[in-house]
Structure 1
Amino acid sequence: MPRPHRTPRFTPAELEAARDRLVPDVIADGLAVLFCGINPGLLSAATGHHFARPGNRFWPVLHLAGFTPRQLRPDEQDELLSYGLGITNVAARATARADELSAEEFRDGGRILAEKVERLRPRWLAVAGVTAYRTAFGERGARIGPQERMIGATRIWALPNPSGLNAHWTVRSMADEYRRLRLAAGVAEPSA
């Protein structure tokens, strides 16, 4: 029987040393959905895994929405590619909090993200954080859901931020929105 995975513990100094570190994208050409976080947190930078903080709801929501046959752990992020999924970020620089990023970093990140999407051609870009999407792409009125803007042939969907700090979205309501994206993207539920 496999042992449960535990998130490694880091001292405050070790986490601070991860500041500004980059977390490699989990990407490939022609994905069904490229998920896009705001930027890596310090724990993600320290581990090298996206959405690594235990309170982050990305991994449980992804499973509940039917994108994965079981709840993956952050250290299993590369398995997403086998489901036609990937992960990147609007801003690459790791910070303790997203509000440490400037509007200019978001706009630069949006430009770099658009170039990445043009090169990789996913069917959908799913930005996990509508405020980050608004700032990165200058879409002040954007709401959760599919967007009119496209990048080449890639459609865009603004999703709720899965951070545990985003209290007005429950795991269930987030999973419902992620499921709407899965259905729109034509991604079948994988079997276990």
Structure 2
Amino acid sequence: MVGPGLRVLFCGINPGLMSAYQGRHFARPGNRFWPALHASGFTPRRFAPAEQDQVLALGFGLTNVAPRATARADELTAEELVAGGRSLTAKVARHRPEWLAVLGVTAYRVAFADKHASVGPQERTLGGARVWVLPSPSGLNAHWSPTALAEEFARLRAAAFPADRAELDGSGLAEPAAGGVARHLAGPAAEAVPGP
């Protein structure tokens, strides 16, 4: 899910087993990527994993650091993460997104030999892209609440789309509605739009 002219390339650690089986990014129901993406204003509505093909038109793409599917990201070896980091850097250099958003600080530290990295914007660039480390959206990540996760996504969105400050613009991006990200996340599950 990578193309030219992207504002943000979101990069998961690796596919989970359900994501690999379905061929969709962040497919496990407990994963908080799609809700956080909407709550932060990246999408005009909450997308289902089956709708991942629509993200390129919104100015962002999806990829992973490592290709091997596992039940948990911590099943990957350091060698796989380092090799994935090299491959990702080459991919970013080829496609030239403005921002690379890596979802998972622990994997980022290993893949890019940056043991002091923390969540947020990084001083380095990779393949010419500015880098932002986001918390892992996995439901297993108990360190970040859904609201805090969406707020960090919103910080990235503000940096990547600085001119988009009001409602829906021509790119399809939306500001979080009145009440902020907490209101978006508290909405009924029925707000999720099922895939085709």
Q: TM range, normalised to the smaller chain?
A: 0.7 to 0.9
**Across the two proteins, how many residue pairs are aligned to each other?**
167
* 1:68 paired to 2:43: yes
Deviation at 1:191, TM superposition (A): 5.9
Deviation at 1:100, TM superposition (A): 1.4
Report what 1:133 is aligned to.
108
Which stretch of structure 1 is more off in the superposition, 181-190 or 73-82? 181-190
Tell me, in whole angstroms, the C-alpha distance in 1 between the residues paired with 2:91 and 2:4.
10
The alignment's TM-score, normalised by the length of structure 1, stands at 0.84
* 1:174 paired to 2:149: yes
**Secondary structure of 1:141's match?**
coil
CA pair 141-48 structure 1, distance change in 2 beyond 3 A: same
| Identical columns (%) | 62
* Counterpart among 52, 61, 65 of residue 86 in structure 1: 61
Deviation at 1:152, TM superposition (A): 3.9
Tell me, in whole angstroms, the C-alpha distance in 1 between the residues paired with 2:6 and 2:112.
21
Alignment map for 1:35-114 (pairs within 5 Å): 35-114=10-89
Q: Which runs of 4+ in 1 moved over 6 A?
A: none
* 1:150 paired to 2:125: yes
**Secondary structure of 1:59's match?**
helix
Tell me, in whole angstroms, the C-alpha distance in 2 between the residues paired with 1:183 and 1:102.
34
Tell me, in whole angstroms, the C-alpha distance in 2 between the residues paired with 1:72 and 1:104.
33
Tell me, in whole angstroms, the C-alpha distance in 2 between the residues paired with 1:191 and 1:173.
20
Report what 1:116 is aligned to.
91
Residue type at the aligned position of 1:85 = F
Report what 2:134 is aligned to.
159
Tell me, in whole angstroms, the C-alpha distance in 2 between the residues paired with 1:191 and 1:141.
32
- CA RMSD, 1 decimal: 1.2
**Secondary structure of 1:62's match?**
helix
Contact 2:40/2:150, CA 8 A, preserved across alignment = yes
Residue type at the aligned position of 2:158 = L
**Secondary structure of 1:156's match?**
strand
The alignment's TM-score, normalised by the length of structure 2, stands at 0.83
Deviation at 1:30, TM superposition (A): 2.0
Tell me, in whole angstroms, the C-alpha distance in 2 between the residues paired with 1:191 and 1:65.
10
**Secondary structure of 1:49's match?**
coil
